[in-house]
Structure formats: structure tokens, C-alpha cells
Homo-oligomer: A and B are copies of this chain.
Amino acid sequence: MVLLEFSMTPLGKGESVSPYVARSLEIVSESGLDYRLHAMGTVLEGEWDEVLSVVTKCYEAMSQDCDRVTCSIKIDARRGAEGRLESKVRSVEAKIDHELKTSES
């Protein structure tokens, strides 16, 4: 299974881009994949083709009315590993003797 983090931003639409980001999140939340939104992007979990297909749909939506679109993607693919949206965070916490501020708090 694959964790894919991405953020997609239009250039040339001014300084505030949250309306465009909201459209992407509609697509993400309707995808059926598990995900987490944080302040700098969204992390999806699924098979390689599934997670890339969500990013492609977001691009298709954004490019309809944005002539320039930038996107950064980070992927962590690990064979046989599932449920890592939470387990990766837990794994770090388990090695530290005090509480961390996490996305699941």
C-alpha cells in the first residue's frame, strides 16, 4: 500500500487559494480512500493507481479554470503495509516518553 501526500495550487489566481483547495478536497473525500488533511497538504492511502487517480482528478478539476497549476507529491510505498496513516505516527510516539502533537490528537 502507498501513502501519497500532495498539495496542488494554482498560480495566477491571487494569494488566497483555499477555494481551489476545497474543490480538491471534495474529490478526495468522495474517492472512498482514507486520507488526512493537514495545514500543508493531504495524505491519501491506497494502491498506487488509486492514489494517483485521485490526484489526476484534482488536476483535471483545477486545470479547467486555472491556466497554471503546480503540484508537489511525496510517496512512501511499502509492501504489505496497511493502515499507516495512523501507524507511522504511533510508531514514532512509541519511541518517545512524552506526548506529541499529532494529526490524531
Min distance, Cβ A10 to any Cβ of chain B, angstroms:
9
Q: How many subunits of this chain does the assembly comprise?
A: 4
A5-B40, A40-B5, A70-B9 known; A22 vs B92 contact (CB < 8 Å)? yes
Count chain A residues whose beta carbon lies closer than 8 angstroms to a beta carbon of B.
62
A80 contact set on B, CB distance < 8 A: 67
Choice from B11, B71, B72 contacting A11 with Cβ under 8 Å: B11
The answer on a CB contact under 8 Å between B96 and A39 is: no
Task: Convert A11-43 into 0s and 1s, putting 1 for each residue whose CB lies closer than 8 angstroms to a CB of B.
Answer: 110111111011001100100001111111101
Identify 7 residue pairs between A and B in the complex whose beta-carbon atoms are under 8 Å apart, listed by A's number: A22-B95, A34-B101, A36-B103, A38-B43, A39-B89, A52-B56, A72-B73
Residues of A within 8 A of B (CB): 3, 5, 7, 9, 11-12, 14-19, 21-22, 25-26, 29, 34-41, 43, 48-49, 52, 56, 59, 63, 67-80, 84-86, 88-89, 91-92, 95-96, 98, 100-105
